[in-house]
Structure 1
Amino acid sequence: MKVNNNLSKKHGEAAVTVTHKCSVNSLIRILRSKTFKPAYASPIAADSGINCFIEGREYQTGQCFYGDEADLILSWHGPIENVLIDEPFPLTPNILYNQERWRAIIPAGTNRENIVVSGFDATGANIGWISSDQI
C-alpha cells in the first residue's frame, strides 16, 4: 500500500521530502499516535531523533539492519545543515542535519510545524494472514 499526498500548496514550495525507514508496526504506531519515539530517549544518544534520508541525496541505504520494510514520507519545512558524521550530540532541534552518505536526522524536540506527514509506503512489506478462527 502506498499513499502520498501533495501538501506543498498548504505549506509552501520550499519543503524537502525525507523518508524514515521503519517496520510496519512502527509506521502504524507513529501514524496513530502522531508522535515519534526515538530508539534512545537521551538527547546525547546518536539515535535520539528521526533518522531519515533526504530525497535526491545519496546514502548507503543498506545500513538498515531490520524493520525497514515501510517508509514514512515527511515534508521538512525548516533549515538544513550539512554536518560531518561525527557531529556531537545533542543536536539543536528544528534543524534537519544531513550527514551525507550516512543519514539525515531530525533531532528530538523539533517543533511539529517543521514536519508534515505527506505519505507512507509499505509496498514491499511481508504481511501474514491468519484464519478467522484464530481471531
Structure 2
Amino acid sequence: MTATTARRLTAVPTPARTAATQGAGAANVDVRLVARSIAQAAVEVLAGTRPVQQLARFLDADCYLALQHRAGLTRDFVVRSRAPQRIHLSPMVRSVRVCRISDEIHEATIVVAEDLRCRAIAMRLELSASAWQVTALEIG
C-alpha cells in the first residue's frame, strides 16, 4: 500500500547576493577570504616554505620589511641550532574574525594551527588603489 501526499508548489526563494559575490571590484571582495589567505601565507613565510616576495603586493612597506626580517631571523636560528629538519605540514587556518572599522578599513584576527602549536594573527586591512593591503601585521 502506498500513500501519496499532495505536494505544494512554492517558489524557492533565491538567496540575496552578498557583497562577496557581487562584481569583481576589491571593495566587493570578502575581507575574511583575503585575511585568511594572507595569514596562511605569512605563516608559511616564517616556516620557510614560501618566499616573502609573494606577499609584496598585499603588504605595505613596513609590514613587508618586518616579515622579511623575522623570516630571516627564524632561518638563521634553524641553521645555528642544527636541529634536524622536520617535514613541514601546511598550516591550517582555524578561525577568522573581521571587524569593520569603515568601508575602507577592516581589522581581522586569525587563528592558525601548525604541527606543534597554534598562532594568533592580527592584521589591519585598508582599501587602497582598489586592492586590500595589510598596513599592520602581528603574528604571535
- Which structure: greater helix fraction? 2
Given the two structures, how large is their TM-score scaled by the length of structure 1?
A: 0.23
Larger Rg: 2
Q: Normalized against structure 2, the TM-score is what? A: 0.23
Q: Pick 1 or 2: higher relative contact order, CA cutoff 8 A, min separation 6.
A: 1
